[in-house]
Amino acid sequence: MDEHISEAIGRPDLIRLDDGLVCLRFETMKVVSALAAVRRLLDTGAVRRGDTLIDSSSGIYAYALALACHRYGLRCHIVGSTTVDHTLRTQLAVLGAHLEQMEPCTDLKLDQKRRVARIREILADHPDYHWMRQYHDDIHYLGYQAVADRLHRETGAGALTLVGGVGSGASTGALAHHLRARSLEVRLVGVQPYGSVTFGSEHVADPEIIIAGIGSSIPFGNVRHGLYDTVHWLAFDAALAGSVDLLRRHAVFAGLSTGAGYLAARWEHRNDPGRTVVFIAADTGHRYVDTVFARHREAARVEDLAPRPVSALEELALPWSRMDWNGAPAPRAAVAA
């Protein structure tokens, strides 16, 4: 029996959608990461019960950290972007987490920079607060070890391709790292939006709304570029088609980064049917009802979509590109200081 709801929420489902195509489905992915990170901080004496943890978040990390703080008796202070919606704001308030939401800002880079600047101001006033730095501190890799163990147990020792959206890089990076540590043959496929510095797509703009949670306009230390074999870039429209098809065909109700990952996973599976392809579903579809699922009649047929193969970042083009990354280092704009 679980001791706290966060343990249940953090435990993913593994669903075989097709022969060789598996969905690793989380209700809220970062809960498993935040729980383990906070537990490590308490165990090492870096923080004590009653202390305040602070970080910046565009959504699911805020919820994850609030749950971990509730579980372990800590205070939680979030500097959130405008993507923190009414449902999450209300839950955070009742959970006792303090949310400071930034003014609306259409420039993502400016929004991310302003949030970091605001955290620095708060830390100057409260030097006793602990800054979690989800984008940089690899303490966020720890929680995925148990998930990797389970994946290993349930998918066997055969060749595996892991596909997932890259935001902070912790989930895909940690799962690949822990699986490879068991000497499994794992190919890692990262999924990106256009307009992100992380894998060098900042020069291609997606005219539609951004895919929450993946990509970045500033460098993140937790992305280990050398771990990735392949990268797919998907535009909003393609991700929408993926999310709608995933619900229609497999009854999995998940968000846009999952829809993008599902398309990439289908493609990788078709290209190399001998491998088991596991893709990550990081959150549920609730946040996307109006912007994605209500538009289901506009969705392209996934069978009609295919990535443009590119061999250099200058060739990237909407709505879907795929490139062999081959463990290349971070592009210059994505090197964390």
Ligand X SMILES: Cc1ncc(COP(=O)(O)O)c(C=O)c1O
Residues interacting with ligand X, by CB under 6 A?
A: 59-61, 165-172, 212-214, 255, 257, 282-283
- Shortest Cβ 248–ligand X spacing (Å): 20
Give the residue with the Cβ less far from ligand X, 165 or 319: 165
Give the residue with the Cβ less far from ligand X, 213 or 307: 213
Give the residue with the Cβ less far from ligand X, 157 or 289: 289
Tell whether the torsion through CA atoms of 179, 32, 250 and 308 is positive or negative: negative
- Shortest Cβ 214–ligand X spacing (Å): 5
- Shortest Cβ 19–ligand X spacing (Å): 26
Give the residue with the Cβ less far from ligand X, 20 or 164: 164
Measured in degrees and rounded to the nearest 5, phi and psi for residue 14 equal -115, 120
C-alpha to C-alpha distance for 318 and 236, rounded to whole angstroms = 10
Beta strands, E only, 58-133: 75-80, 98-101, 130-131
- Shortest Cβ 66–ligand X spacing (Å): 15
In the 3-class helix/strand/coil scheme, how is 201-221 assigned residue by residue? CCCCCCCCCCCCCCCCCCCCC
Shortest-Cβ-distance residue relative to ligand X:
213
Give the residue with the Cβ less far from ligand X, 60 or 160: 60
Give the residue with the Cβ less far from ligand X, 157 or 181: 181
- Shortest Cβ 191–ligand X spacing (Å): 8
Query: Which whole-number Å values give the CA distances from 317 to 70, 90, 215, 224, 313, in the listed order?
Result: 44, 39, 16, 24, 9
- Shortest Cβ 222–ligand X spacing (Å): 7
Instruction: Let me know: does 213 contact 198? Beta carbons within 8 Å.
Output: no
The 3-state DSSP class for residue 195 equals coil
Instruction: Let me know: does 118 contact 105? Beta carbons within 8 Å.
Output: no
- Tokens, residue 54: 């602070």
- Cβ count near 136 (within 10 Å): 18
